[in-house]
Amino acid sequence: MSTGALSPKKAAERTLETGVHHLEEDLQLTFLKNVYGALLISAGGLLSLTLVTGTPGLSEANPGLPRILQGLTFPVGLVLVYLVGAELYTGYPMW
């Protein structure tokens, strides 16, 4: 039965292929993808903060609920980065 996991050799080859692809990418495109990724992360953070600070009545009635909403909405930025195909700079130094 196959688990879908790569062997260590195949994983190393895929990592090398990805690194070479990133190195061959146009510098302007890389910069724009990183800026776009940062904007999307910021949008997720802003949505999260808006939900917490924009609902004072909810905070008084149930102090834990805004924190749960904040925890659920912040990752929206990360999901958008993945879905749109943007990049985050923190991944580039790894290659």
Q: Residue-wise pLDDT tens for the chain (95 aa)?
A: 567 788 899 999 998 898 888 788 888 998 999 999 999 999 999 999 888 888 778 778 888 888 888 889 889 999 999 999 888 887 666 65
Number of domains observed in the structure of the chain: 1
Secondary structure of residue 50 in the 3-state scheme: helix
Residue 19 lies in a domain: no
Q: What is the largest CA-CA distance in the chain?
A: 56
Q: Can you give the pLDDT at residue 5?
A: 87
| pTM of the shown model | 0.72
Other CB atoms within 10 A of residue 37 CB? 23
Residue 68 lies in a domain: yes
Other CB atoms within 10 A of residue 87 CB? 21
- Rounded CA-CA distance 65/36 in Å is 30
Residue 20, CA distances (Å) to 13, 57, 60, 81, 95 in order: 11, 52, 53, 21, 8
Q: What is the distance between the terminal CA atoms of the chain, rounded to a whole angstrom?
A: 32
Residue 42 lies in a domain: yes
Expressed as residue numbers, the domain containing 68 is 26-91
Residue 39 lies in a domain: yes
Residue 13 lies in a domain: no
